[in-house]
Chains A and B, each alone.
Chain A
């Protein structure tokens, strides 16, 4: 089937592209679905100075290299927006806005995040008329004018400094006490030394004022509770990000209160065969280098999952004989002894059963599927369906009686 893949990655930022490189290299039939430009948030970053191997590179250039690398391993790309998913079956279904339906054995969610909207009066109605979210895009429209920046993180302060190249004055509205910024120290120092940058401390913004165009902002002082109006022609919002995971709402996927996806060490979500990487997962550091690491981990985990799935389907579901799924762990002596006993028994007695040994250390998904926690354990399957479990007795006769 043309629309059926081993691995589908939703999102084409550094996490998604890294997963694609690993997926493609593992010879998985891999597709990246991306709704905007390749590179995600990195595509909006003018300068990256902390990605290993690149002393200084622009975001779009770095992402172009990532994409070319993925294409080199025959990864396919589809420019579409995913609107819904069905992760309840073994084949994961993904539907796009233009009505395309795709399926994959494993899915990696690398959807990233988007700017948080404050939803204050004037913010929406004056968008494009002075309200902005991207300095690279819009700073030059404020040549010689007064601009307000809301927020004090890396993005707010660095973009604010970029805007000073065009604007007459940039006023940063900061939640914290005087001198405290959320951004890195180098940027903070530069900002304090920038003659065009001014700061209003302990404050937040209540409304954007203006009819046709932005004429000012209403600022609230959090300490005194007092409000004041500051005249300006532009307002840039950099008040943090929210994960772009809203389309996953009814998928059964676990997220935290803010919409971020919790994962384990292998980037596995609560759903089998579904992984989350990069900015849309719960994590400590949101950088290109950590996103790339996430992508690699998830693709390897997905590859192992798919391999187990394929092996299971071709050797177990399609077997004529009944299958004894024998779970063992080399570290548990009892399970090794039991294996020997069971194997002896089956080789002596007829053709009805075939043993399929499952190493708990590597076949975690199978162990999870049958909720095996202790070894030895045996699940009896007929045409892939569980018919019973054995009591793993070391008494040969007792064991034999369970198999007759």
Chain B
């Protein structure tokens, strides 16, 4: 299942207004590592249906967003809950580390 792409406005709504527990992958088209990590998230997403949100930001289209989190590279997966930043994982991460981090954010 493909990930919903967020722009700045969508980002505000989902993260800070809805306070949804979720992850956001910051990615770009010309990044081969991203091309491995994004499909992994797409496959993981159905397992967390309704419980945890999966979103996507293209850093070339929304520069302001990656500058806000002073990111130094892609891909990076940022985790949020209750409108608060909960940490990130960077680079070529395995499915297991994402699952662990989600469990940690959800407090299970």
Query: Do the two chains belong together in a single complex?
Result: yes
A residues whose Cβ falls under 8 Å from a Cβ of B: 35-37, 43-44, 79, 127-130, 132-134, 136-138, 141-142, 213-214, 233-234
Cα A333 to Cα B2 with chains together (Å):
69
B33 partner residues in chain A, CB cutoff 8 A: 134, 137
Closest to A97 in B: B95
| Known pairs A43-B32, A137-B32; A127 contacts B70 (CB<8 A) | no
What are 29 A-B contacts with C-beta separation under 8 Å?
A: A37-B32, A37-B36, A43-B32, A127-B73, A127-B90, A127-B91, A128-B72, A128-B73, A129-B73, A130-B73, A132-B73, A133-B91, A134-B32, A134-B33, A136-B30, A136-B32, A137-B30, A137-B32, A137-B73, A137-B74, A138-B72, A138-B73, A138-B74, A141-B66, A141-B72, A142-B72, A213-B70, A214-B72, A233-B72
Cα A35 to Cα B40 with chains together (Å):
10
- Chain B, interface size: which category? 20 to 34
Cα A60 to Cα B15 with chains together (Å):
35
Q: Within 8 Å of chain A (Cβ to Cβ): is B51?
A: no
B residues whose Cβ falls under 8 Å from a Cβ of A: 28, 30-36, 39, 66, 70-74, 76, 88-91
From A36, A37, A128, A233, name the one whose CB has the most chain B CB atoms within 10 angstroms.
Answer: A128
Partner of A213, one of B30, B72, B89: B72
Cα A234 to Cα B91 with chains together (Å):
15
Closest to B34 in A: A137
Cβ contact within 8 Å between B90 and A36: no
A128 partner residues in chain B, CB cutoff 8 A: 71-73, 76, 88-91
Cβ contact within 8 Å between B72 and A79: no
Cβ contact within 8 Å between B32 and A141: no
Cβ contact within 8 Å between B72 and A134: no
A35 partner residues in chain B, CB cutoff 8 A: 36
Q: What 8 A-B pairs have minimum CB-CB distances, sorted nearest first?
A: A128-B90, A137-B31, A138-B73, A36-B36, A37-B35, A130-B72, A128-B73, A127-B91
A36 partner residues in chain B, CB cutoff 8 A: 32, 35-36
Cα A303 to Cα B29 with chains together (Å):
38
Nearest Cβ in chain A — how far from B47, in angstroms? 13
Cβ contact within 8 Å between A44 and B32: yes
Cα A127 to Cα B31 with chains together (Å):
15
Cα A44 to Cα B36 with chains together (Å):
13
Closest to A44 in B: B32
A127 partner residues in chain B, CB cutoff 8 A: 73, 90-91
A130 partner residues in chain B, CB cutoff 8 A: 72-73
Nearest Cβ in chain A — how far from B101, in angstroms? 14
B35 partner residues in chain A, CB cutoff 8 A: 36-37, 43
Closest to B88 in A: A128
Cα A306 to Cα B14 with chains together (Å):
56
A133 partner residues in chain B, CB cutoff 8 A: 91
Cα A128 to Cα B93 with chains together (Å):
11
Closest to A42 in B: B32
From B32, B34, B88, name the one whose CB has the most chain A CB atoms within 10 angstroms.
Answer: B32
A141 partner residues in chain B, CB cutoff 8 A: 66, 71-74
Partner of A79, one of B28, B30, B39: B39
A43 partner residues in chain B, CB cutoff 8 A: 32, 35
Nearest Cβ in chain B — how far from A48, in angstroms? 15
A233 partner residues in chain B, CB cutoff 8 A: 72
Cβ contact within 8 Å between A137 and B28: yes
Cα A142 to Cα B71 with chains together (Å):
10
Nearest Cβ in chain A — how far from B73, in angstroms? 4
Cα A234 to Cα B33 with chains together (Å):
18
B88 partner residues in chain A, CB cutoff 8 A: 128
Cα A43 to Cα B33 with chains together (Å):
10
Cα A230 to Cα B20 with chains together (Å):
42
Partner of B31, one of A79, A129, A134, A234: A134
Nearest Cβ in chain B — how far from A162, in angstroms? 12
